[in-house]
Structure 1
Amino acid sequence: MGWLALVLRRWRRVRVQVAYGAVALVVNLGAGGAMAESLRVLALGDSLTAGYGLPADAAFPVQLEKALRAQGYDVSIINAGVSGDTSAGGRARLDWALADKPQVAIVELGANDGLRGIDPKVTEQNLDAILTRLKADGVTILLTGMLAPPNYGADYAESFRQVYVRLAQRHRVAFYPFFLDGIARDPKLNQGDGLHPTREGVAVIVQRILPSVKQVLGNGGKG
């Protein structure tokens, strides 16, 4: 075979490979011409979200993402939990939390407000500002509620609980009444401090909150 024929033959092979690659790329592109991306879900919270005292793979965002993917959802959950954060702290870092442009947000804040006895009106103002900003950015929201410890009295506990009810109604967002439902005060599902869930405790949280998360996602992220 002459050198020219050999070159032409190799060129045809390369051209076919390039064409095949282009077809494959088109298949992976959506109608908008961009690579399909996972649905971005922001988990905005405190140590309960961050995974205090747990290996990275045991944190709430990781376990929730795994559970959703197992049911066919193509989601990427952003762990924006900071241990020790109050509602004020979450509000202060909202710009940073929104840098990844999430489409959905799970808001879990207020536990440290309740532990510190912060005026429920202050907590409400901070959470109201967070929800207002998220909605302005077009983010779909799941608000999770929190209960205050009993040591501040029944009136404080009820005022604190009602903060979340009012906010959910005011902003017309999905609402999960108690983030720690099913594990609170259960020593088998909490770490030694009695406040933070174990890996197994997080698994219970995920199992219980999963229907609410799926309802918020709808068909978004569904493969």
Structure 2
Amino acid sequence: MDVELFPRERTEVAPGAVHMPDWLDTRAQRGLLAACREWARPPAGLRTVRTPGGGTMTARQVCLGWHWYPYAYARTVVDGDGARVKPFPSWLGELGRRAVADALGPRAVASAPYDIALINFYDGDARMGMHRDSDEKSDAPVVSLSLGDTCVFRFGNTETRTRPYTDVELRSGDLFVFGGVSRLAHHGVPRVHPGTAPPGLGLTGRLNITLRVSGL
């Protein structure tokens, strides 16, 4: 069994942006993975996202609660099969609220419930360019959960897609929360490390579950 030479600890990457390693235990990871596999089934299942310029995102996506497409929200998969988006489960919202409380403290928990999940699947070649989560009307903290392969998560600034930024290693079970002055910081995934998922999880690739409050 591999043992960390220096155990990973909670880190404030920027004001209001916190990385909490191993926040999900093995059982919680398996349960969340099973749910993601159900959500990925059609209708309104996993899809390739096409950008307004005619390109495609390399990470594939499924949405819950509200369907995101560049750069708006809808109740149906307007850029896919047209089906109504799958409902956002209350237990996932409670998970999001607990994540914010653990990372930023109880006062940071939004009064409005979490009602959006964007679930991105990365294979070994997938990436995510620097962007801001700015299509919501709420400024509640964003909750990001990782399953499967380790990735490099690049967390930047609110003004530009370039430096300064900090690269963080996100492993399976890790939590990253960003709110407050960092709510609109640019961020992305420049690299995924294939074959690094926990052997017992049963996942090839990386899943990122991002929870948001729409304010819609």
**Which band: TM-score by shorter chain?**
under 0.3
Larger relative contact order (Cα-Cα within 8 Å, sequence gap ≥ 6): 2
Normalized against structure 1, the TM-score is what?
0.25
Larger radius of gyration between Structure 1 and Structure 2: 1
Larger helix fraction of residues:
1
